[in-house]
Structure 1
């Protein structure tokens, strides 16, 4: 784990990426396309304004802050405030986030942990009744599922360190949209129309009921005066206005309602602290890829990339059956290790260095061609073999990327966990059900504990893994990330391989079919794979089934030289959602 750059590490990084540069040159030829466009010593510094996010209203809010001279973190506050209003099914003030930040003035990359925490009264048996795990839907809709939200606190921490504009000036657009109303988008309208689950709680029923007594639909105007009041209080009072006082009381009140009231208290909220964790960075080809440390699963992204560098079939490109088979088999190994070892490092020893140890990575990569079913977890150096994991991680997440005029960048994945979180609301926003990211079964029959078992104050493991990309000189050249529950790791690595190995544009990389290999099955955007490719994959044992997890919502950009010789942003927004990528 390190911040980049550090003088003591520069020679090591230069050597590693120098070797990778040779490998990448070979890879580009094998793929049959243009080589990945990397920054060179003559390249101008990558600068914004640039914003990519899952809703155009949020993108505009971020660009407006950047136009006023705000920093990337300033814009992130505005983007999140608007996303929580216009895309409440995915993220919000009642959820959590991981942020990766590149500081152009120092060259440092920092990871910020705004993951939710379990209440002080939580126990490993949180989701057990009569000794048996609750049905997942019952757990989500219960008060037990909500942890202390971290998104507001982590944004406040980062903005205090890297903000330029006053905090109180960053919420005006969210407040205006909440008071005046915004048009319900097709994606939000589809989730509002759901006939069960979180869309049909008493809170959601009241919120989505129009003035005519009919449920809102796509194209209707949705107003949220309670949210306007909340962001006005946040603007005036800072994050303390969220974690103490009226808003905190309303959160606790909603959590403690039946069915299955939760144990969250005002003291839990007042005690919440975000964590500045540094960044986990490793060379990949001619680049350096940086992700957050645990409890994020960023280490799994780096492990898969490290195995990919040792797997020649990967570089054959998106039209190669061999490349897709190799990608699937490497995922199986990665997920087996992630599921067994990654958890909150304050409670469990996570063998981060062991998972990335070159000898261990090589041994795991060598197993990929021999897999005929789900992979077993390995034994990385420093790993403690804990019990099998019983964690389920559903949909309800968003990602955005921001670059300001000075070249500072934010890559942030933000979530309320399931669609509309727990379905409960307080102060105009939905509450998270993030505690269902813990393992429901805290132990296996022989008594071995699960690394991701519930504990007081613990942060559940997360698949969120926002990415920052540097060149071999340690300069910022790109960022990306995605929602998708456990599939985030597959989505992010697909995009990284497509952009960095196959020379694809961000937009084309994001539009590629998704293939997720966790356990025995292969989930995919089956309709995006050509019939001939599906048949060829099936003949190799990779039988595609529709992906059961949340689909991707990749957003990002890479700094590249175009065919005209001009450097600029190659940005993309996943066409599976409603986002846009804009240079101002």
Structure 2
């Protein structure tokens, strides 16, 4: 199998050893003509697996809201895309009802009570190798997606709770394994076969061989779990036999068993957060606040580019991509220093989103040459004692977006972190390795990082579900991405593609990707960006062409209704009516 070093490590240069991922799984070269879009529709769902898009669409056809369809999509992805997300993980949702205020809900996982700042240090006090830390019980956070779904349903749902589980239950009773899922099963042996017995039994045959594409896959335990939660409500996940199963699986893991408790699981709560909003040209852009770094990160990248004529330069001009790279470097520097769980550390969210601050940061960007060093700034409200620390967020995750006939629109990014998360499976669903999104080294020169491990704390995330509004305040785009730390730049690129370059959502998604963090710059191999390497080099960059972990999904308002866009680098397709 062809593998490449995961971008999160190569760009961030963390001490942790990175997890490789299959080059041909959820990423790879894409040509401009390679798109996955459809519409216009009265209502549409775009997910990273066509069966999940159809699951959400079936709920819309029954009169469900965008929230109902999004919940059904999340549940379906638990079944058909278990390597990326599910009820054993967490996520963030951004929801604009047709009438009423924008809402955002934080379903990020929490560290159990036994967690400590030294969680991922070895006996010598050095950061553990990534895969050693991520596999098994040590990396598992209390899952948040079920609580997130329940809060979203309470606020914006229309159909009965149990109805939303029906498509996923049918899928769990049998579906054909896709080529993408099969590649990840084969790739996931390093964690699935090491962490615990349920994953081995579920995804490998009696001889230990990975199940191939086309296999009719039944997940009877997951079907039973879904039926229980459907009938008894979200408390059935956080209390009782399902919670006991999570605790038992984490505590008895064959790798890194950890004493998560029933109290840890029962205490979980989804958090309603204030959205992070700002303007870009005549548009309004809103996203998720901390512990996500997506809302501030996307807004920073855009606002720092606002004074440049990105539309006039165009997508085929190396200067456009140089400017984008420089804006990324500044935004990622702020992310690494300032963002953490606001329940535990002071986060200068308002300062990071302040137009005056971002205008000043933009002044550091030169249209012709690369800045020598892109350092974190000092936004208003920032604590003085804070050090910069990159995390180990790896390529994984999924995003789905929905628009319904009533005008409700949403985007939800969901994850179990790396491929098949911790490698642990409980009651048929994969358990996350989200705690490895904390900083492995908790301090630098005696100063604690914003993102060090603490009991009950939520790790920093790059997930960036984002909604864009036109000058009249009408939502025109809901988008999000997968791919670890690259997510923020992926979402920003797609927004630029739609707003500045006038592309339909699927073509904006299909644009090649450039990632710039610190002193490193990567361009997507096999795309027109590779031909710009000499021009970018002349401006002072040292670009490297590489395969990148990319996967976006979005919906766009167009004449006649909604258009869905999915990333043709993967297997996602929109579905609408």
Do the structures match in fold with TM over 0.5? yes
Structure 1 stretch displaced more, 468-477 or 503-512? 468-477
Residues 304-453 of structure 1 correspond to what in structure 2 (within 5 A)?
A: 304-313=301-310, 315-369=312-366, 371-385=370-384, 386-444=386-444, 446-453=445-452
* Alpha carbons 1:282, 1:290 under 8 Å: kept: yes
| 2:281 alignment partner, one of 282, 285, 291 | 285
Partner of 2:458: 459
Structure 1 stretch displaced more, 467-476 or 492-501? 467-476
Partner of 2:232: 237
- Find out whether 1:188 has 2:181 as its counterpart: yes
* Alpha carbons 1:308, 1:314 under 8 Å: kept: no
- Find out whether 1:224 has 2:219 as its counterpart: yes
Partner of 2:50: 56
Partner of 1:126: 119
Q: CA 1:570–1:71 in structure 2 vs 1: closer, same or farther (change >3 Å)?
A: closer
| 1:103 alignment partner, one of 81, 84, 97 | 97
Partner of 2:291: 295
* Alpha carbons 1:59, 1:580 under 8 Å: kept: yes
Give a deviation string over 1:238-294, Cα, whole Å, max 9, x none. Answer: 111100111111111111124222232110110100011132211212211110111
What CA distance in whole angstroms lies between the structure 2 residues aligned with 1:225 and 1:183? 15
Unaligned runs of 5+ in 1: 1-45, 562-566
Displacement of 1:547 in angstroms is 4.7
What CA distance in whole angstroms lies between the structure 2 residues aligned with 1:361 and 1:221? 52
Displacement of 1:374 in angstroms is 4.6
Secondary structure at the counterpart of residue 365 of structure 2 = helix
Give a deviation string over 1:21-52, Cα, whole Å, max 9, x none. Answer: xxxxxxxxxxxxxxxxxxxxxxxxx9842100
What CA distance in whole angstroms lies between the structure 2 residues aligned with 1:161 and 1:177? 27
Partner of 1:556: 554
Q: CA 1:468–1:211 in structure 2 vs 1: closer, same or farther (change >3 Å)?
A: same
Secondary structure at the counterpart of residue 242 of structure 2 = helix
| 1:112 alignment partner, one of 70, 95, 105 | 105
| 2:203 alignment partner, one of 199, 208, 220 | 208
What CA distance in whole angstroms lies between the structure 2 residues aligned with 1:195 and 1:558? 35
* Alpha carbons 1:374, 1:518 under 8 Å: kept: no
Partner of 2:130: 136
Partner of 2:15: none
Q: CA 1:254–1:352 in structure 2 vs 1: closer, same or farther (change >3 Å)?
A: same
Structure 1 stretch displaced more, 370-379 or 403-412? 370-379
Partner of 1:494: 493
- Find out whether 1:482 has 2:481 as its counterpart: yes
What CA distance in whole angstroms lies between the structure 2 residues aligned with 1:493 and 1:266? 40
Displacement of 1:541 in angstroms is 2.9
Partner of 2:31: none
- Find out whether 1:524 has 2:523 as its counterpart: yes
Q: Which has the higher contact order (CA 8 A, sep 6+)?
A: 2
Secondary structure at the counterpart of residue 439 of structure 1 = coil
What CA distance in whole angstroms lies between the structure 2 residues aligned with 1:390 and 1:534? 26
What CA distance in whole angstroms lies between the structure 2 residues aligned with 1:231 and 1:373? 53
* Alpha carbons 1:191, 1:199 under 8 Å: kept: no
What CA distance in whole angstroms lies between the structure 2 residues aligned with 1:548 and 1:393? 17
* Alpha carbons 1:314, 1:326 under 8 Å: kept: no
Partner of 2:503: 504
Give a deviation string over 1:350-399, Cα, whole Å, max 9, x none. Answer: 11121122332122111122644551111112112412214110122000
Give a deviation string over 1:426-446, Cα, whole Å, max 9, x none. Answer: 0001100000010111111x2
Partner of 2:13: none
Count of residues in correspondence between the two structures: 530
> What is the TM-score with the length of structure 1 in the denominator?
0.88
Partner of 1:151: 145
Structure 1 stretch displaced more, 350-359 or 525-534? 525-534
* Alpha carbons 1:113, 1:277 under 8 Å: kept: yes
Q: CA 1:59–1:147 in structure 2 vs 1: closer, same or farther (change >3 Å)?
A: same
Displacement of 1:405 in angstroms is 1.5
Q: CA 1:361–1:195 in structure 2 vs 1: closer, same or farther (change >3 Å)?
A: closer
* Alpha carbons 2:311, 2:501 under 8 Å: kept: no
Structure 1 stretch displaced more, 309-318 or 158-167? 309-318
Residues 561-572 of structure 1 correspond to what in structure 2 (within 5 A)?
A: 561=559, 567-572=560-565
Displacement of 1:311 in angstroms is 2.7
Give a deviation string over 1:440-459, Cα, whole Å, max 9, x none. Answer: 11111x21110001111111
Q: CA 1:142–1:548 in structure 2 vs 1: closer, same or farther (change >3 Å)?
A: farther
Structure 1 stretch displaced more, 230-239 or 204-213? 204-213
What CA distance in whole angstroms lies between the structure 1 residues aligned with 2:406 and 2:396? 32
Displacement of 1:417 in angstroms is 0.6
Structure 1 stretch displaced more, 302-311 or 335-344? 302-311
Displacement of 1:195 in angstroms is 6.5
What CA distance in whole angstroms lies between the structure 2 residues aligned with 1:418 and 1:375? 28
What CA distance in whole angstroms lies between the structure 2 residues aligned with 1:213 and 1:147? 28
Structure 1 stretch displaced more, 229-238 or 355-364? 355-364
Displacement of 1:143 in angstroms is 0.9
What CA distance in whole angstroms lies between the structure 2 residues aligned with 1:124 and 1:405? 48
* Alpha carbons 2:310, 2:500 under 8 Å: kept: no
- Find out whether 1:273 has 2:280 as its counterpart: no
